[in-house]
């Protein structure tokens, strides 16, 4: 648009880097995480397409709106989050405390929560369809 100041380039675009966040995620082999977390929520929050969050309401000519952070995707996102946190921890330990065994930490801090998460079941209400 004329008269509108240009935004400065993102830090990752400098020196010939990726031009957007999706390209950045792909460059570091994390595009699936980008699409799962940032991609869908960003598209919705920037008013691109809300159709995945709209359902027929309980009454005729009524629309229902699912929350953006609907429980339908909760388990998928929780699994990805645990994976990312464990991977980040392994990378940090590997860099700063090379050779340290993470098995005791995993057993003490992660395993029981992970096992509980695996048992969670999300059951939509009768009149909802999953997105």
Q: Check residue 110 and give its pLDDT.
A: 87
* C-alpha distances in Å from residue 46, one per residue of 22, 52, 66, 71, 86: 16, 14, 17, 21, 31
Identify which has the larger pLDDT, 81 or 130. 81
In sequence order, what DSSP letters do the residues of 8-74 get, joined into one string? PPPGGGGGG--SSHHHHHHHTT-HHHHIIIIIHHHHHHTTS--GGGEEE-SSTT-EEE--TT-GGGH
**CA neighbor of 21 nearest in space, from 4, 8, 35, 7:** 35
- Mean pLDDT, the chain, as a whole number? 80
- Grouping H, G, I as helix, E, B as strand and the rest as coil, residue 2 is coil
- Grouping H, G, I as helix, E, B as strand and the rest as coil, residue 112 is helix
20-54 tens-digit pLDDT: 888 999 999 988 888 877 766 666 566 566 666 67
pTM for the full model?
0.53
Q: Does residue 74 have a pLDDT over 60?
A: yes
**CA neighbor of 35 nearest in space, from 25, 44, 47:** 25
97-117 tens-digit pLDDT: 999 998 998 899 889 988 888
Give the integer Cα–Cα distance in Å for 36 and 33. 5
């Amino acid at each position: 648009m004329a008269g509108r100041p240009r935004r400065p380039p993102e830090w990752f675009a400098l020196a010939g880097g990726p031009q957007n966040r999706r390209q950045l995620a792909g460059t570091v082999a994390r595009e699936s995480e980008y699409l799962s977390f940032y991609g869908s929520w960003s598209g919705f929050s920037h008013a691109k397409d809300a159709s995945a969050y709209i359902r027929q309401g309980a009454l005729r000519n009524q629309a229902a709106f699912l929350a953006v952070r609907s429980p339908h995707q909760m388990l998928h996102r929780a699994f990805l989050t645990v994976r990312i946190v464990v991977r980040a921890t392994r990378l940090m330990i590997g860099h700063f405390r090379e050779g340290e065994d993470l098995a005791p930490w995993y057993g003490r801090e992660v395993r029981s929560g992970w096992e509980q998460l695996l048992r969670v079941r999300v059951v939509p209400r009768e009149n909802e369809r999953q997105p």
